[in-house]
């Protein structure tokens, strides 16, 4: 089996940075190959996660390395409003022990890619306390175990095998609004207890957990979440990152979140947090990346 990008599953590093780039006009596949080889020479590519838009990956890779369903993220319209999309060509997720090491890696990456890709989004993130969102709730409680994560996230066979689809969104919170509520009220928005993340027995239909836990005939839809908070005192939120072997799982969950479903119920979290960006990337296997770089 092809080897996935291992940094998707690396945990324990508290500093994160998400860089998104657009292709420069006239950039060629050969110039992109040389720029990515520079990232490898710096050691950045091996220690990070690299994702490509469908359009860019098709330009670079042979057909057997392009998975089915590799399409841009589409806007979703529902009772909760309209979900924005902001497609870009390349995404690089850096993670390290501290922000000082991340900023050095980010500057090197931007310099290496500058001839072919221009930086358009730069979102530093961090692990908050014991893995909580800035709302104070534990993030990722529905995640599979690390041992089961590859089965959820990685395409097992066929075109794109060893790769994964990544959903990347920056959400901005209205924490003043959220924290103005009592803890029991907050818990009914999320659907879990705040202290220890136990699911509520009387789950409201519009609670975040109720909308995001999706049961099908084949079992519960699972994704591998790797989100982290971002921001400063006055402006902050969640950098949402999730991986899946099937991008339709993201669409199903987002439609339920926005109430683009027959029941027209939307996720109550939309009253307190809104996405500012949104893109779908393909994260090819290490084998596919290496084959491309070597030509």
Residue 1 has pLDDT above 80, yes or no: no
| Cβ contact 224:7 at 8 Å | no
Quick one: what percent of the chain has pLDDT higher than 70? 100
Handedness of CA 211, 213, 218, 219 (dihedral sign): negative
pLDDT digits (tens, 9 = 90+) for 53-105: 999 999 999 999 999 999 999 999 999 999 999 999 999 999 999 999 999 99
Q: Which of 89, 96, 139, 246 is catalytic?
A: 139
pLDDT at site 45: 78
Residue 46 has pLDDT above 80, yes or no: no
pLDDT at site 222: 97
Angstrom distance (rounded) from CA 76 to CA 188: 25
Mean pLDDT for all residues in the chain: 96
Residue 271 has pLDDT above 90, yes or no: yes
Which candidate, 120, 149, 129, 100, places its Cα nearest to that of 53?
120
pLDDT at site 248: 97
pLDDT digits (tens, 9 = 90+) for 160-215: 999 999 999 999 999 999 999 999 999 999 999 999 999 999 999 999 999 999 98
Tokens, residue 32: 């992109």
pLDDT digits (tens, 9 = 90+) for 92-137: 999 999 999 999 999 999 999 999 999 999 999 999 999 999 999 9
Q: What is the mean pLDDT of residues 29-35?
A: 96
**Catalytic site includes residue 139:** yes
The model carries a pTM of: 0.97
Q: What is the mean pLDDT of residues 40-60?
A: 92
Q: How far is CA 24 from CA 28, 85, 115, 202, in A?
A: 9, 20, 8, 52
Quick one: what percent of the chain has pLDDT higher than 90? 95
Angstrom distance (rounded) from CA 51 to CA 92: 6
pLDDT at site 47: 83
Handedness of CA 249, 251, 252, 253 (dihedral sign): positive
């Amino acid at each position: 089996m092809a080897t996935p990008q291992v940094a998707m599953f690396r945990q324990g590093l508290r500093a994160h940075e998400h860089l998104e780039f657009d292709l420069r006009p006239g950039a060629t596949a050969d110039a992109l190959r040389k720029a990515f080889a520079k990232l490898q020479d710096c050691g950045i590519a091996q220690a990070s996660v690299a994702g490509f838009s469908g359009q860019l990956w098709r330009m670079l890779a042979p057909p057997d390395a392009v998975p089915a369903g590799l399409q841009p993220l589409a806007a979703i319209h529902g009772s909760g409003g309209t979900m924005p999309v902001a497609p870009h060509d390349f995404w690089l997720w850096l993670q390290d022990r501290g922000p000082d090491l991340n900023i050095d890696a980010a500057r090197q990456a931007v310099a290496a890619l500058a001839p072919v890709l221009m930086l358009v989004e730069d979102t530093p993130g961090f692990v908050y306390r014991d893995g909580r969102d800035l709302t104070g709730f534990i993030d990722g409680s529905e995640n599979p175990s690390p041992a089961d994560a590859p089965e959820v996230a990685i395409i097992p066979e066929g075109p794109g095998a060893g790769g994964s689809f990544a959903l990347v969104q920056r959400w901005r919170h209205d924490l003043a609004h959220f924290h103005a509520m009592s803890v029991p009220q907050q818990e009914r928005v999320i659907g879990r207890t705040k202290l220890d993340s136990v699911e509520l027995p009387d789950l409201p239909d519009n609670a975040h957990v109720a909308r995001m836990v999706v049961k099908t005939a084949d079992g519960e839809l699972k994704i591998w979440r790797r989100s982290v908070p971002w921001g400063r005192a006055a402006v902050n939120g969640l950098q949402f990152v999730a991986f899946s072997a099937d991008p339709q799982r993201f669409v199903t969950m987002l439609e339920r979140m926005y109430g683009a479903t027959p029941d027209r119920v939307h996720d109550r979290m939309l009253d307190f947090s809104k996405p500012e960006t949104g893109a779908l990337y393909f994260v090819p296997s290490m084998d596919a990346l290496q084959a491309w770089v070597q030509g």
